[in-house]
Structure 1
Amino acid sequence: MPILKQMTLFEQVGIASNNSWFSKALEVLGISEKPAWPDDFGDAIIKWNSKNKRKPIRVLSLFSGAGGIDIGFHDAGFQIVECNEIEKNFAATLLENSQANRLLSDSNIICLDIRKYDPEPDNIDFIIGGPPCQTFSAAGARAAGVNGTDDERGNLFKEYVRILKKIKPRGFLFENVYRIVGAQGGKPWKEIRKAFQDVGYKLYWRVIDAADYGVPQFRERLIIVGLKEGTYKFPFPTHGPDSTDQRGYYTAGKAVDGLASKISVFKLGGRHGHLLNDIPPGLNYSFYTEKLGHPKPIFGWRSKFSDYLYKADHGTPVRTIKAQGGQYTGPFHWENRPFTIEELKRLQTFPDNYKIVGNRQNTIHQIGNSVPPQLARILGLSILQQVFDISLPFEIDLMPDSFKLGFRARKRDVTKIYAQKAAQAISCLPKDEVKKKYVGERIGYVRVTDDFQLILSSKSDSADYFIQYTAQNDEWILKLQDIQADKHTIKKYELKIQSNDSLLATQGIKTIKMQSYSNNKRSILALWKYLEKIVKDHCHKDDLVQLFGYYHYRQNYIVNMKLFDDSLMDKPFWKVLSQVSAGNSISKILHIAELSNCYGVPQETLILVLKELKKIGFEIRNDKTNKQISNNMILIPYVFPSLNERSLQRFTEL
């Protein structure tokens, strides 16, 4: 139904539905959509421009990164006069490609903090660039919530405005993540628009998807075009259902075709690497969740980033390539391996002959941080046609303001398709013996290492605690005491976990009690780590986060902590721990003063307690552990100790 409405709109604006401006462009330029065709498209435009000499349109590039926008605008026919980039590795890439006979030859590269940058070039016609977006990004939000303009990096648009005010170009193109529009109730977005308008620019903006413009990657971005005079409309998509001829997407499989035989490939290893093999193309870690019906649900729903163990589907564009990530950050190749750098360049439409300087991790950072050059080419050409009145060898059809792009709506259909793929793949898995509900009792000796690993022992000599675990009816009970404890030692504290639903569906458990006869602070870590072990044994869950869910989402359990030892009740550590365990002021960023008031301890004391909690595995985030968090702000994500031997936060001080 949406497509029929849009086809009517095509007719209303006088565009034939059986052809598109892009089809005409390919025909005129003599381009076929073979692998790496965006390189040919760029070369053909360069060749056409060289035969049709005109006065150079001089461009200043800000926040240039690895040069994604610069490549596109250069190919479209603009002269990139100067590039400003603060990161040395990124600037090294720009410098490499600005050498004689290279793509950005004759561009002046300035590696400098933009706050100290005072551009000198004369007669600049246009400015391009997009400030760092971490404070508005999904990754930043997941790490610490959206700080937006509360973070100094979210205010770098002001430097962009400062330079616009000085240079006074005819217009500019500003790129950023789409989340900026709705972040913090729309306050930053209103502030950004006002700042540009106050220096004399009328704004034209849309959130667009790079896949709609010939990029083999779904990548939503906010694009603002600001003009002193005239008007601007965005070009109609060149690919996908919103293109006027319904041209198919440029797929990941087609983009990387022909490269695998020329380059070495390697497999994904480590703790979760083997899981990639069974994941159907197009899915991620969620394949191994209870929600999608996996018989061994290792992960909790929405407990990981969406690119965790994400395997690309060769028949569609890939999901957004991230600038930074860990060992299991996708996209991974459908042949169960990481993509090579050469393949990632294709997926981002960087030209094959464009050299990106740095090791693999830094190169991926540069690729994922860039605007796809093919998207920039199309935008650059549309600006040439409208803003600078350049007659191209083809005419770009422009979207009316009323035209609604459909990529958001189509996401729901894609979700259904991949859920069906998951169900089909799960139905083909080997039928393991159904795991019976555990009923009984275990006893043993345990200790927890300094890097938060639980060590089991059959002897008391190498242990710190004796532990007894009982499973009965719909309840688990864990009892812990010191190795040297007297048998008449009284209970010190109890943690009681309850859920309205079955907390552990495969075991039918609704209540978990963890009782300690030790007042050692590390006893709390030992209890939670032992619970994590039995959850792994009986329920296949990978860790406590997978059991209880990622902190951003509504939790379906309640934890209560009761102190039985009067001597603990007035001690700041146990007082704060009781509040944390109950979920008070958890999962949100709060000022240290607010936390101090909530927990009823002075700020200086609270800071010491938080450091102690971190030593026993509780994740405590502040500006030292997460750049997205402002000074004097604290985030305690979980009611339980979530750090393990692989956690990088073990090595960061509060």
Structure 2
Amino acid sequence: MNGNVAVKEVSDGYEGDDLYHLKPLKKTQVNPVFSELCSELGVNYKQQGAWVDEFGKSLREWAEKNFNNPVKTLSLFSGAGGLDIGFHDAGFDIVERVEIDSRFCDTLVENSKPDEYLSKASVVCGDIRDYIPSAVGEIDFIIGGPPCQSFSAAGRRAAGVQGTQDERGSLFEEYVRILQTLQPCGFLFENVYGITGAEKGEAWKRIVNAFSGAGYTIEHRLLNSADFGMPQHRERMFIVGVREDVEYRFPVPTHGPDSPENLPYNSAGSALYGVMNTVKPKQGLGGRFSHLLDEIPPGLNYSFFTDKMGHPNPLFAWRSKFSDFLYKADPDVPARTLKAQGGQYTGPFHWGNRPFTADELKRLQTFPDDYKIIGTRAVAYHQIGNSVPPQVARMLAVSIMEQVFGNKTPIPMPTLPPSKELGFRKRKRLLTKRYSAKAAKAIESIKDDLVKMSILDERGYSAYLGKDLSWIECNDGASFDVTADCRSTGWSITVSDYKSKKNAKLESSVDVFPIEGNEWPIESKKITLYSYSSDVRSYSALWKAFEKELRDRNIKADLVQLCGYYQYKPSFVCRLHVSDENDNIFMNRLKPLSKILNGDGVAEIMHESIMEKKLSVMGDNLIDLAEWLKLLGYEVRNHNTNPQIEEEYYLIPYAFPTLSPLSVQRKKSLKNTK
């Protein structure tokens, strides 16, 4: 079984303009490793559907017949069991799993019952910090990946990555504690790529030094799951630690341009072939952006509706949303990374313009069809998206079984030299060109239907402004009356108390000026918002009414899209004017509010002393001002709302109110509630 295998010609280099269409530069002779491995196992990896399930089953059967001494393995931070499945299939004996989330434990327990996938593994549901490792007995290997939120892209976008300063980011210390107690032959540690950049690299140094200090030689690699047969691009950092007398190298990719055979990626459409959905697929998304999903070409996201992609009605600003916002998977290529959690518009979505079912997500994450995920739809999504893909775990486990424990595998697995750089991140940077071409083709086919909505130049309505910052047009129980006069010569939006007297006086106004040189989608460059109400909430109502006109006229989805993401230069500035006779609306906070509208103290993380100076406030008045701004609808962040922000620092991303009922920041407290 480990004899000579046939060789064939494959490319030794590639050229092309994107990730999926590459041309060979030259030919070289290589061993067709993965195809031979599948042949030995009796698996047809070219078939559509869940061939990875058959691969895992056949690999497990082969291991049971050929490995006499089980490798006793402890699983930490087990989640739904993705790593456990892969290592179990490769012949590792998972003896115990430790997980804190009781919902995830329900899944682990269910699949540990007799005749289920991991029937021999016990489950410890509790905090890793309370776990006593000596009770598990002798352990040969440890696997696990601590929570990654403190190193994630969401953390970076929130205000930089806090890393090991976050309580979750320090859980690697518990991993090290258990290693030092049990002294296994080795371990595998998984986390997000952002772990290397946390705290300017200092967190990564501490993690590597801690593992080395526990007596292990470290080999680490950033891997893309699609390179190992997954129908999904998912970049994760893996660390394998071994004793000093053992050398370990990561396996070469089995699929894609970096694989010896240049096998095509496993596409999302192929992976879902024949899936039996146990729950009927949910049709549509609901909400005000749901209709946009129908127009987005497979493989693209909200950026389809941006100037950058050439859309004639660019509702969104470039890079103003996460890349998974309204992302629709392409059936012909691997999907982008599944997310453990997200909002209503967090993709990937099915190319049939609907959310994926849990059964479909299991296929995309390479969970076996017969592996049971327990919980509601949201809980199931969380568990699947949070897991290490079993197929990636299988290939890593096979390489570890061979190199660390000296067990012969069906086919010797070639390894990556430390100096060998994989090309998936470079190829990723080439995708914009492909996306732009796809967007242009889609726009060309529908451009005759892309017109601005026909809205009266002048209209009036009444609306209710809720405590949750909802803005609902209604006739009964309204808060304000609104008149919007939106002509090419100038926009004038007026807010007054509901059914107020006609002789109400002007209390305040805001002028909005486009910054010269920026794209400005509104015909008029003169926009004024007028308040004829002494109610402080009328200030919020002005911006809600302005945003409604942008949305209803199909100009922009919201104010942030008009302004642009806060880390870029804004497209407009504002000026506040208040009546000289006004003595009750903005008296104490007029000056700081005016400064904020002018852009002072905005879009930059700054120490409270600097912000106090910029906004002309003193001492404890800053936190009071911040709380008041939140009531008006401003997003304000500090250490208590976003742990990535250092203590005594603040961030006001935008010069205008942006919070809505769905905003996560709306419910967070700026004050320490402990």
TM-score > 0.5 by shorter chain:
yes
Shift of the 477–245 alpha-carbon distance from structure 1 to 2, 3 Å rule, reads: same
Provide the rounded CA distance (Å) in 1 between the counterparts of 2:433 and 2:667: 41
Provide the rounded CA distance (Å) in 2 between the counterparts of 1:70 and 1:447: 52
Provide the rounded CA distance (Å) in 1 between the counterparts of 2:586 and 2:532: 18
**1:316 equivalenced with 2:333 (yes/no):** yes
Q: Is the 8 A contact 2:223 2:236 kept in 1?
A: yes
Where does residue 50 of structure 1 map in the other structure?
64
Query: Which residue, 236, 260, 264 being the options, matches 1:248?
Result: 264
**1:63 equivalenced with 2:77 (yes/no):** yes
Question: How far apart are 1:519 and its partner, in Å?
Answer: 5.0
Where does residue 348 of structure 1 map in the other structure?
365
Provide the rounded CA distance (Å) in 1 between the counterparts of 2:409 and 2:196: 33
Amino acid at match of 1:352: D
**1:402 equivalenced with 2:419 (yes/no):** yes
Amino acid at match of 1:118: I
Amino acid at match of 1:329: T
Q: Is the 8 A contact 1:151 1:630 kept in 2?
A: no
**1:373 equivalenced with 2:390 (yes/no):** yes
Structure 1, gaps ≥5 residues long: 8-14
Where does residue 280 of structure 2 map in the other structure?
264
Question: How far apart are 1:417 and its partner, in Å?
Answer: 1.6
Question: How far apart are 1:200 and its partner, in Å?
Answer: 1.9
Query: Which residue, 20, 37, 48 being the options, matches 1:25?
Result: 37
Provide the rounded CA distance (Å) in 2 between the counterparts of 1:612 and 1:420: 46
Determine helix, strand or coil for the equivalent of 2:430.
Answer: helix
Determine helix, strand or coil for the equivalent of 1:128.
Answer: strand
User: Residue by residue, what CA displacement relative to the aligned partner does 1:196-234 show, whole Å, maximum 9, x if unpaired?
Assistant: 122222211111100000111000000111122222111
Question: How far apart are 1:510 and its partner, in Å?
Answer: 4.0
Question: How far apart are 1:487 and its partner, in Å?
Answer: 5.5
Question: How far apart are 1:599 and its partner, in Å?
Answer: 3.0
Q: Is the 8 A contact 1:234 1:382 kept in 2?
A: yes
Question: How far apart are 1:182 and its partner, in Å?
Answer: 2.0
Q: Is the 8 A contact 1:84 1:114 kept in 2?
A: yes
Q: Is the 8 A contact 1:205 1:224 kept in 2?
A: yes
Determine helix, strand or coil for the equivalent of 2:223.
Answer: strand
Where does residue 201 of structure 1 map in the other structure?
216
Determine helix, strand or coil for the equivalent of 1:166.
Answer: helix
Q: Is the 8 A contact 2:98 2:123 kept in 1?
A: yes
Q: How does 1:435-454 map to 2 (within 5 A)?
A: 435=452, 448-454=465-471
Where does residue 11 of structure 1 map in the other structure?
none
Q: Is the 8 A contact 1:465 1:480 kept in 2?
A: yes
Provide the rounded CA distance (Å) in 1 between the counterparts of 2:454 and 2:273: 49
**1:382 equivalenced with 2:438 (yes/no):** no
Query: Which residue, 106, 114, 117 being the options, matches 1:100?
Result: 114
Shift of the 458–322 alpha-carbon distance from structure 1 to 2, 3 Å rule, reads: closer
Query: Which residue, 615, 619, 634 being the options, matches 1:618?
Result: 634
Question: How far apart are 1:467 and its partner, in Å?
Answer: 4.8
Shift of the 243–499 alpha-carbon distance from structure 1 to 2, 3 Å rule, reads: same
Where does residue 19 of structure 2 map in the other structure?
none
**1:609 equivalenced with 2:621 (yes/no):** no
TM-score w.r.t. length of structure 1: 0.90
Determine helix, strand or coil for the equivalent of 2:191.
Answer: strand
User: Residue by residue, what CA displacement relative to the aligned partner does 1:26-45 show, whole Å, maximum 9, x if unpaired?
Assistant: 11111101221111111112
Q: Percent same amino acid at aligned positions?
A: 47
**1:542 equivalenced with 2:542 (yes/no):** no
Shift of the 648–234 alpha-carbon distance from structure 1 to 2, 3 Å rule, reads: closer
Provide the rounded CA distance (Å) in 2 between the counterparts of 1:454 and 1:261: 38
Q: Is the 8 A contact 1:444 1:456 kept in 2?
A: yes
Provide the rounded CA distance (Å) in 2 between the counterparts of 1:649 and 1:619: 7
Question: How far apart are 1:562 and its partner, in Å?
Answer: 5.0
Q: Is the 8 A contact 2:275 2:359 kept in 1?
A: yes
Larger deviation: 217-226 or 306-315? 306-315
Query: Which residue, 412, 419, 443 being the options, matches 2:436?
Result: 419
Where does residue 300 of structure 2 map in the other structure?
283
**1:582 equivalenced with 2:594 (yes/no):** no
Query: Which residue, 170, 178, 192 being the options, matches 2:207?
Result: 192
Shift of the 457–94 alpha-carbon distance from structure 1 to 2, 3 Å rule, reads: closer
Provide the rounded CA distance (Å) in 1 between the counterparts of 2:404 and 2:429: 37
Q: Is the 8 A contact 1:572 1:609 kept in 2?
A: no
Shift of the 398–463 alpha-carbon distance from structure 1 to 2, 3 Å rule, reads: closer
Q: Is the 8 A contact 2:285 2:354 kept in 1?
A: no
Shift of the 201–577 alpha-carbon distance from structure 1 to 2, 3 Å rule, reads: same
Q: Give aligned pairs, total.
A: 643
Q: Is the 8 A contact 2:596 2:655 kept in 1?
A: yes
Provide the rounded CA distance (Å) in 1 between the counterparts of 2:452 and 2:232: 41
Shift of the 463–38 alpha-carbon distance from structure 1 to 2, 3 Å rule, reads: closer
User: Residue by residue, what CA displacement relative to the aligned partner does 1:121-153 show, whole Å, maximum 9, x if unpaired?
Assistant: 232121111110001111233344322222111
Amino acid at match of 2:358: I
Q: Is the 8 A contact 2:534 2:585 kept in 1?
A: no
Shift of the 255–572 alpha-carbon distance from structure 1 to 2, 3 Å rule, reads: same
Q: How does 1:69-148 map to 2 (within 5 A)?
A: 69-120=83-134, 121-148=136-163
Question: How far apart are 1:501 and its partner, in Å?
Answer: 2.9
Determine helix, strand or coil for the equivalent of 1:425.
Answer: helix
Provide the rounded CA distance (Å) in 2 between the counterparts of 1:233 and 1:359: 40
Amino acid at match of 1:285: Y
Provide the rounded CA distance (Å) in 1 between the counterparts of 2:462 and 2:112: 64
Determine helix, strand or coil for the equivalent of 1:245.
Answer: coil
Larger deviation: 169-178 or 593-602? 593-602
Provide the rounded CA distance (Å) in 2 between the counterparts of 1:103 and 1:457: 55
Query: Which residue, 494, 504, 508 being the options, matches 2:520?
Result: 504
Determine helix, strand or coil for the equivalent of 1:533.
Answer: helix
User: Residue by residue, what CA displacement relative to the aligned partner does 1:248-289 show, whole Å, maximum 9, x if unpaired?
Assistant: 001111111012587633311312223222211111122222
Query: Which residue, 300, 303, 307 being the options, matches 2:320?
Result: 303
User: Residue by residue, what CA displacement relative to the aligned partner does 1:349-399 show, whole Å, maximum 9, x if unpaired?
Assistant: 111111111111101100000000000010011111111111112100111
Amino acid at match of 1:641: P
User: Residue by residue, what CA displacement relative to the aligned partner does 1:403-427 show, whole Å, maximum 9, x if unpaired?
Assistant: 2111111123332222211111111
Q: Is the 8 A contact 2:221 2:238 kept in 1?
A: yes
User: Residue by residue, what CA displacement relative to the aligned partner does 1:440-479 show, whole Å, maximum 9, x if unpaired?
Assistant: 76677666343434466899x9664565646454x54445
Amino acid at match of 1:184: E
CA RMSD, aligned part only? 3.1
Question: How far apart are 1:116 and its partner, in Å?
Answer: 1.4
Where does residue 248 of structure 2 map in the other structure?
232
Q: How does 1:454-465 map to 2 (within 5 A)?
A: 454=471, 464=480
Determine helix, strand or coil for the equivalent of 2:429.
Answer: helix
Shift of the 167–456 alpha-carbon distance from structure 1 to 2, 3 Å rule, reads: closer
